[in-house]
Amino acid sequence: MKKLTFILFFLFCVIKIFAQNYPVFESDKKLKKEKSIVYNGFKNEFDFLIAKSETCYWYEKIHFEIIGFKNGTFKKYHLILDKANGKLKTKKIRISKKDKRDYNNLLEELNKKGFFNLTNGSLNIRGRDNGDGTRSEIQISDGHTYVFEIIKDDNYKRLYSYCPEYYLKSFPEMKHRKLFLECLNIFREYW
């Protein structure tokens, strides 16, 4: 009985040490994840995935930068979607052995910032109330949108912000846009 208890305790400790705790986020029920190229291509390949892309009407191609996690390891992919013909190219990115960064820290840093709790409504406010019954707004045309797609199991979240740098410049009190940009820069450091 002592031996069985010890073995069970040992197995529990090993599982606890090597189990990956991924950030928790609320899945967006309104989005049709089946329309996502990233979701369809990688939903069963990873335990957790975060992808970044930038879209604009004028861009001929959309580049997706993907970091996927599974069993304590990670992989990076670069997808390129040609908007004109719908062709998709996939390229696995080699990770240099000199790259000593712990990619799990990426998730920890984003989680500490509150990235996974952001909402699209707070990321796309285009103005502010001035407190005197008037409102200040700016309208930007032909800008770019940064998009993050997050997948864990069957959960899917898509976060996006239209021209966050420009809106933040005009309305520095937009804390969620500022946080989004900080998280974008964190992702870029690991990419």
- Encode pLDDT of 7-59 as tens digits: 544 444 433 334 468 887 877 766 677 788 899 888 889 999 999 999 998 89
Bridge partners of residue 160, in order along the sequence: 147
pLDDT score at 10: 46
Q: Are 42 and 49 in contact (CB under 8 A)?
A: yes
What is the pTM for the complete model shown?
0.82
Neighbouring CB atoms inside 10 A of 9's CB total 10
At residue 8, the pLDDT reads 47
CA 191 to CA 184: how far, in whole Å?
A: 10
Report the pLDDT averaged over residues 166-190: 94
Q: What is the reported pLDDT for 19?
A: 47
pLDDT at site 28: 72
Q: Check: CATH 3.30.1560 for 26-121+141-190? A: yes
